[in-house]
Amino acid sequence: MEDRFEKGMNILKITNEETIEDIFKELEDIAPDLGRFIVEFPYSEIYTRKEVDLKTRELCTVAALTAIGTIPQLKDHINAALAVGNTPREIVEIIMQMSAYAGFPKAINGIMAAKEVFKQKDLLPVE
């Protein structure tokens, strides 16, 4: 049986391979256990559940992070959403939907975060 850390790391390699080491580097001198908790709980226990696929989970995460206004993590999850097969248009639509539930300022901030990610990946303009 796969341990929780390994199981979570396998998901992170699919969703956030480019930034996975950055998480640990940023936390190593202040809260190294937090990095382990991130891997072992959401990525091992939540993201591996079979009822919802990774594509849907990442869209939900993009929506939640837009609604609460957590921009650095939102950018990571926009990248993750792209990595698991979401299109830029789908991501934009989900962020725009948050204007009705979280307000226009949060939706605008989310769109600007998406624009930054899409620009880095040469995905603009969004069709």
Q: Which domains does the chain have, with CATH numbers?
A: 1-51 (no CATH), 53-127 (1.20.1290.10)
Q: Is the pLDDT of residue 8 over 90?
A: yes
Share of the chain above pLDDT 90, in %: 88
pLDDT computed for residue 2 by the predictor = 66
Start-to-end CA distance of the chain, whole Å, equals 44
Tens-place pLDDT, residues 47-105: 999 999 999 999 999 999 999 999 999 999 999 999 999 999 999 999 999 999 999 99
Contact 66, 29 (CB under 8 A): no
What is the C-alpha to C-alpha distance for residues 6 and 105, in angstroms, rounded to an integer?
38
pLDDT computed for residue 18 by the predictor = 78
Longest dimension (CA), the chain: 46
